[in-house]
Amino acid sequence: MNPANFLKTAHGDLAGLREPAFDYFDDTRRQMTSWMALLEAGNFKQRRDELHRCKGGASLFGLGRIVALIGSCGGASVLEERGSDLTGFETELTEAGRAMMAMTD
């Protein structure tokens, strides 16, 4: 997590940014439940679209490691060849949530 980006986005209101940030985490986890099924069904376009939205939210909140992780698996050929590392992504998402919680307490 990039604290400087997070503070800039918060405009001095860390408590006010906490709710939208955790909405992002909750929405991302809900989306993740369908990601493997999308890959198995060959629906790479929808998978890329969902990754793109997730990456945009991560960028907004200064979650650089999540942005990089999504960037490394977002291409169609990459998705077809190796899928994506959902366990690693979940770990990064959890760590980012902890860091954000610590900043907004």
Distance in angstroms (rounded) separating the CA atoms of residues 44 and 56: 18
Amino acid letter at 23?
Answer: D
Q: What is the pTM of this model?
A: 0.77
Rounded-to-5 percentages of helix, strand, coil across the chain: 85, 0, 15
Spatial neighbors of 55 by CB under 8 A, at least 6 apart, are: 66, 67, 70, 71, 74
38-85: per-residue pLDDT in tens? 888 988 888 888 888 999 999 888 888 888 888 877 555 554 555 566
Domain extent at residue 85: 3-104
Structural domains of the chain, count:
1
Of 62, 67, 43, nearest in space to 2 by CA:
62
